[in-house]
Amino acid sequence: MKLLTILARCAPLLLSGTMSSAQVSDAPTTTMRELGTPDPAICADRIYQARQASGQPSLLQRETADPDNPILIWAVDRRQDGCSVLVTMGDPDDFRPIPVPGNETELIPAQ
């Protein structure tokens, strides 16, 4: 009984702290641009130059991922000259640009 009394008295306080849908939709949103992330074209050039400086081969070959030879990556937040990169396991100097999803999507049937 005490619990119901407490809940009944606290309900107006709990409801007053919620935001209406109008308030949520009017809230400002940030984009990657506003957070200081450089242009993707600039990042591609910076990553290319940094890989050359560290002795890594360029990443010009774009192939489909090979399930028999996966590239393992560390789950870290690393930035190279302000650009987010993926770091491969075993070689911290082997960093790669974050893949950008394509415009087309397709279902891959199970095998």
pLDDT greater than 70 at residue 18:
no
Predicted local distance difference test score (pLDDT) of residue 93? 80
Are 59 and 76 spatial neighbours (Cβ–Cβ below 8 Å)?
no
Calculate what percentage of the chain has a pLDDT beyond 70: 59
Q: Retrieve residue 3's tokens.
A: 């619990």
Distance CA 81, CA 58 (A): 17
For residues 20 and 65, the model is more confident at: 65
Predicted local distance difference test score (pLDDT) of residue 106? 78
For residues 69 and 25, the model is more confident at: 69
Are 73 and 88 spatial neighbours (Cβ–Cβ below 8 Å)?
yes
**Helices H, strands E: what count in the chain?**
3, 3
What residue spans define the domains of the chain? 72-99
